[in-house]
Amino acid sequence: MKCADTGFIQAFLDGECEARESEQFRSHLTECEQCRARLDELMALDVWSREQIEADVFARADQVKVNTDAAWQRFSQTVGKANKSNQLREWNHHKERKAKRSWNEMNKSTKRWVTAASAAAVVAVSLSFPQVQAAANDFLSMFRMSKVEFVKVTQEDLQEVENWMASGKAGEIDLKGIGKIEIDGMDDNKQESRNHYYNNREAAEKAGVKLPSVPADMAVEGVEVTSPYRMHLEIDTERANKLLAQLQIDARFDDELNGKRISLEVPKMQTTYIGTGKESYSYTIVDAPELKAPDGVDLEKLRETMLALPFIPEQVKKQMLDIKDWKHTIPVPYMADGKSDMKEVKVNGEEGMLLTSEYNTHLVWQKDGKIHILDGSEKRGEELLALAKQLN
């Protein structure tokens, strides 16, 4: 037997090799000092992963609380697939095995490695798969988003991301030795105060909330205001790059980024629920997010490294890389299920996107430096366009 590569040795450790392959490799180990050393290195890294991630991170996950399960559920509902999870799981069982081991094929111990690297880059997740109503931003130094662009997302893509989020618990952890993620105002005492919900127009206006003008035949049924917050990411590039190498990913984090802080500033978001008694809509307004990175960081390289992480599906990665004006573009996902349609529209003279799916219709446009999102359940696009023209 020839010397094994890293992927095979990790598969051996994970118990994923055939019995005959395992026996041949054990025999080879008795004669090959190089493979024994490589095996010892991978075993040591696996032990380190268990100690640093399971014992430290998951045991102290409540120190930084971001409810990613709830966020993912809202995202699934937004694209109209909240009740399709069983179909997604069925797809996963029928997927062909590829030459390179994909995320779905990785054992738990291998997934800990991916979690270690990708959780340190959790900002990339929110940027690559923003909720339509959260309007997260793409990457870069310090800029304001001025437009949106839709990115096609398939059921397979959603399954890959759902699996990663379910197993990695990204956003809830502080990675000792790899990096850390801090979210301002998200501790136990402040988390509830970030979100305010008002049952009617009077309660919102009494609290000083400025509401949009709505048509005379409609009423404000509720208002939700999410206060601005900041998310900070620091990466230990030496550790992170070692993990990327073990995962056979060519991309590397720039050493200039080591120990420095990247900050994502998410502005205030206001959602007004309006309706006629029978028909209901939600109207969200949010300022353009900002991402701040330290001087000297190669931001193009950072973007490419983020997009090279294994939990970002290939076809989504390609579309993200194809966005030319990525410094000022928010990628908004839409479901490519044969039942959805997306087209460019005009809203009061402004560029916009209209997305019609089996369950929901979304209208997204920009005005005065703000992003506007109008949602309706099972509504025709013409209705949303007509309503949008009446909102001020």
* pTM for this model (two decimals): 0.51
What is the DSSP annotation of 263-327? EEEE--EEEEEEE-SS-EEEEEEEEPPEEE--TT--HHHHHHHHHTSTTS-HHHHHHHHH-TTGG
For 258-287, what is the mean pLDDT?
Answer: 85
Of the ranges 73-87, 200-214, 217-231, 333-347, the best mean pLDDT one: 200-214
Residues in a beta bridge with 370: 287, 367
For 186-206, what is the mean pLDDT?
Answer: 72
State the Cα torsion 258-186-272-370 to the nearest 10°: -20
Rg (CA), the chain: 23
List phi, psi (to 5°) of 372: -115, 135
| Under 8 Å between Cβ of 379 and 363 | no
Residue that wins the pLDDT comparison between 289 and 327? 289
For 111-116, what is the mean pLDDT?
Answer: 36
Of the ranges 112-121, 139-148, 208-217, 274-283, the best mean pLDDT one: 208-217
**What pLDDT is recorded for position 223?**
94
pLDDT(132) > 60: no
**Per-residue pLDDT band at 173 (split at 50, 70, 90):** very low
Residue that wins the pLDDT comparison between 138 and 77? 77
For 144-160, what is the mean pLDDT?
Answer: 47
In b/e form, how buried is each residue of 254-289, taking b as 16+ CB within 10 angstroms?
beebbebebbbbbbebbbbbbbeeeebbbbbbbbbb
| Pick from 177-181, 217-221, 292-296, 378-382: least confident | 177-181
Burial of 170 (0-12, 13-18, 19+ CB in 10 A): buried
How would you classify the pairing of strands 329-335 and 147-153?
A: parallel
pLDDT(193) > 70: no
For 261-267, what is the mean pLDDT?
Answer: 79
Question: What span, in angstroms and rounded, lies between the C-alpha atoms of 51 and 49?
Answer: 6
User: Which long-range CB contacts under 8 A does 85-88 form with residues at least 24 apart?
Assistant: 85/162, 87/155, 88/155, 88/158, 88/159, 88/162
Burial of 47 (0-12, 13-18, 19+ CB in 10 A): exposed
Percent of the chain with pLDDT over 70: 55
Question: What span, in angstroms and rounded, lies between the C-alpha atoms of 354 and 382?
Answer: 10
For 36-40, what is the mean pLDDT?
Answer: 83
Residues 6+ apart with CB under 8 A from 147: 325, 328, 329, 330, 351, 366
**What pLDDT is recorded for position 278?**
77
**Per-residue pLDDT band at 118 (split at 50, 70, 90):** very low
Residue that wins the pLDDT comparison between 277 and 3? 3
N-terminal to C-terminal alpha carbon distance within the chain:
72
Residue that wins the pLDDT comparison between 293 and 67? 293
**Per-residue pLDDT band at 379 (split at 50, 70, 90):** low
Residue that wins the pLDDT comparison between 316 and 171? 316
Chain length of the chain:
392
User: Maximum CA pair distance of the chain?
Assistant: 84
**What pLDDT is recorded for position 250?**
83
Q: Which two tokens stand for residue 81?
A: 């697939």
**What pLDDT is recorded for position 339?**
66
| Under 8 Å between Cβ of 4 and 35 | yes
**What pLDDT is recorded for position 64?**
38
pLDDT(203) > 90: yes
Residue that wins the pLDDT comparison between 379 and 107? 379
**Per-residue pLDDT band at 308 (split at 50, 70, 90):** confident
CA-wise closest residue to 43 among 16, 13, 23, 17: 13
pLDDT averaged over every residue in the chain = 66
**Per-residue pLDDT band at 162 (split at 50, 70, 90):** very low
For 321-335, what is the mean pLDDT?
Answer: 64
The three-class DSSP label of residue 136 is coil
For 316-328, what is the mean pLDDT?
Answer: 69
**What pLDDT is recorded for position 300?**
76
pLDDT(122) > 50: no
As a 3-state breakdown, the chain gives helix, strand, coil percent values, each rounded to 5, of 40, 25, 35
| Pick from 30-34, 55-59, 287-291: least confident | 55-59
For 259-284, what is the mean pLDDT?
Answer: 85
Residue that wins the pLDDT comparison between 249 and 218? 218
Alpha-helix residue ranges (DSSP H) falling in 173-268? 191-194, 201-206, 237-246
**What pLDDT is recorded for position 60?**
37
